[in-house]
Structure 1
Amino acid sequence: MKFLRPRMAKAGLAFSLLAGLLATLYMIKAEALVWHVWHQLHPTDHHGLDLAQYQVSIEAKPLSGYKNLSGITFNRETGTLFAVLNDMGKIIELTTDGVPLREISVQGVDDLEGITHIERDYFAVADERQSQLLLLNIGPETREVSINDAKLFRLGLNERGNKNFEGVSWDSLHHRLIVVKERDPKYVISVTGLYQTEQTQLNGVVVERMPQYDQAIKWVMRDLSEVSHHAQSGHLFLLSDESKLLKQFDESGQPMGSLALWKGFHALHKSIPQPEGVTLDDAGNIYVVSEPNLFYVFKPQSKRPV
């Protein structure tokens, strides 16, 4: 036994050192860093956005008077942005430079997290705590909407909580909503039929898991904060608050590059503290909102076809 004790002590020390190393790597988001560097060194030949060429053009612009920005969407018909505030029950319309234009009060909601523009005056928003989607009509003069006037769909996949559905985006190519669940577990689903188009005349709402993204997000992204579908390329952009990373995927779930939201990357002077929302416009510019009230814009420095 006397001979075993030194060996056991050394083994215990080695285990402690290994555990400490793993903890340190986790804290510095090493897994996200590895994947980000890999994509920069091994660019993928595709028709999406070349995220390696993006630089921040508006950094950490505060939206005074607002807090808890949780989701953002681009309305191509108005050329403006719409963002949700998850503890104020409000939607704010912004210019693409982050200047507030109006406020829309949303009555009867519990925890707004995501928003997406569909077409015309139709928007879908995600209420995380109630695990439900709402279809809202927001016209040019709208200042208030109520849950009583909305088309509502309870997803029914999770109990009430704060780790449920964080983001939503309209996929105009397949006429469906794409929704992300934050974590425990994290995954991507499609919802068809909440908003009916001529191509989707269904008798009800159809919810389907999108398993092609499961493996790709399992290790690299610690959580899913938001999703944005890019119609020009058909690619999906997934945002992770905890990893501070925006990743691009093709329709088969293959990673197509990433945008690191850390200090020193893409001309950022400071890491984005809590990135919660992302959207893209038709020119490929990327808009990110961070809690409590910071606004960012990333633009490509050398354009390539999309």
Structure 2
Amino acid sequence: MPRRSKGLLILLVAAALLLAVAAGQHYRFFEQSWFEFRQWQHASQWKDRSVWLRDYQAAIQGKAIEGIDDDLSALTFNPDRNTLVAVTNANSRWLELSLDGELLREIPMEGFGDPEAIEYVAPGLYVISDERTQQLLLVRIGDETRVIDAAGAQQLSLAIDRNGNKGFEGLAYDSKGQRLFVAKERDPVRIYEIEGFPQTGTGQVLDVKVSEDAERDARLFVRDLSSLHYDEKYDHMLVLSDESRMVVELDKEGHPISQLLLRAGAHGLDDTVPQAEGMTMGPDGTLYLVSEPNLFYTFVRGGKAP
């Protein structure tokens, strides 16, 4: 081979390798591959003292929720009624769903710009996040509620790393520790911890404290955050990533220990979950998940995932 052609070939190979490395870093392939090995290696250590997503299998998958056409976002569990609660962001509706994905009730929401997350915090009380304005609003919803008006809600504005439609995408609540966790979607991925809000009793919000764990967030090998769930049984956090197509379980120190892949062929899924937007877990350990436009999924622990 002529020297000039050989040199060109070397340059092309080097460029291809650089592109492969850049793609691997961008999509976090290297961290994910290493974690998958570590997950298998430490299965015996964590399997009986964690949620252990590795053993979850799809039970209901891709069920279209009748009465909802599009923009299904967020999910939380209501232990008082044994139901699920979601929101839609385009036309702003509060939705109550059965545990098998049937629409039971809907309430219009007024004064909300882009509601992306909802979290049950106490009987009749929910925190709703407005993604673009980075506001958190505490609303009260009862059997008699016909309209949810943001004007009457207890509100907290944070305006942290504000960058348009990449704001507060997920919420989780630790009722024992009185902590609200807020997920920033991306650029950068962050999980903030808030103490002092919401104030579920009488009086005004006092001594609000906002903190973050930079080391934990740096270990998150996902491209974005779509939803959170705090598991009080183990004090572990579940994080949902739409772009990375996975749910990841974090231990008390924020180290990833198990994952559930949302791709076709994994965990009994026939098709890849198209756009996972909300996730929560029931007291029996069932994992509930919703995806745009209007799809409903459940996952139960039982059997080894592929």
TM-score (norm 1): 0.90
Q: 1:292 to 1:13 in 2, by over 3 A?
A: same
How is 1:1-306 mapped onto 2 (pairs within 5 angstroms)?
A: 5-6=4-5, 8-22=7-21, 30-31=29-30, 32=32, 35-36=35-36, 38-43=38-43, 45-46=45-46, 47-66=49-68, 67-159=70-162, 161-196=164-199, 203-217=206-220, 220-301=221-302
Asked whether the equivalents of residues 175 and 197 of structure 1 are also in contact (C-alpha less than 8 Å), the reply is no
* Residues in 1 aligned to 2:36 and 2:118: alpha-carbon distance in whole angstroms: 27
Amino acid across the alignment from 2:100: D
After superposition, the Cα gap between the structure-2 partners of 1:27 and 1:213, relative to the gap in structure 1 and judged at 3 Å, is closer
Contact 2:83–2:96 (CA under 8 A) maintained in structure 1: yes
Q: 1:267 to 1:226 in 2, by over 3 A?
A: same
Contact 1:123–1:136 at 8 Å: present in 2 too?
A: yes
Q: Distance in 2 between matches of 1:56 and 1:206?
A: 38
Q: Give CA deviations for 1:226-272 in whole Å, capped at 9, x if unaligned.
A: 11101111100011110001000111111120011111111000110
- Cα distance in 2 for partners of 1:226, 1:247 equals 11
Q: Does the CA contact (< 8 Å) of 2:249 and 2:257 recur in 1?
A: yes
User: 2: CA distance between counterparts of 1:143 and 1:211?
Assistant: 41
Whether the 8 Å contact between 1:36 and 1:259 is mirrored in structure 2 is no
Cα deviation, residue 22, structure 1? 4.3
Alignment gaps of 5+ in structure 1? none
Alpha-carbon contact 1:36-1:260 (below 8 Å) kept: no
Is residue 68–residue 291 contact of structure 1 (8 Å, CA) maintained in 2?
yes
Does structure 2 conserve the Cα–Cα contact (< 8 Å) formed by 1:261 and 1:268? yes
TM-score by length of 2: 0.90
Separation in 2 of the partners of 1:287 and 1:175? 23
Note the C-alpha offset of 1:173: 2.4
Q: Which amino acid aligns with 1:10?
A: L
Over the residues paired in the alignment, what is the CA RMSD in angstroms?
A: 2.5
Deviations, residues 50-70 of structure 1 (Å, cap 9, x unaligned): 212211000000113321112
Consecutive unaligned residues of structure 2, counting only runs of 5 or more, are: none
Query: Aligned in 2, Cα 1:221/1:41: closer, same or farther, shift over 3 Å?
Result: same
Contact 1:56 1:297 in 2 (8 A): yes
Superimposed CA distance per residue, residues 106-138 of structure 1 (whole angstroms, 9 cap, x where no aligned partner): 101111111100011110011101111111101
8 Å CA contact 1:44, 1:257 repeated in 2: no
Task: Decide whether the 8 Å contact of 1:287 with 1:298 is kept in 2.
Answer: yes
Q: 1:123 to 1:274 in 2, by over 3 A?
A: same
The whole-number CA distance in structure 2 between the counterparts of 1:72 and 1:10 is 52
Instruction: Give the Å deviation of 1:29.
Output: 7.0
**1:155, distance to aligned residue in structure 2 (A):** 0.9
2:262, 2:273 within 8 Å by CA — same for their partners in 1?
Answer: yes
Deviation at 1:40, TM superposition (A): 3.4
Query: Which amino acid is 1:192 matched to?
Result: E
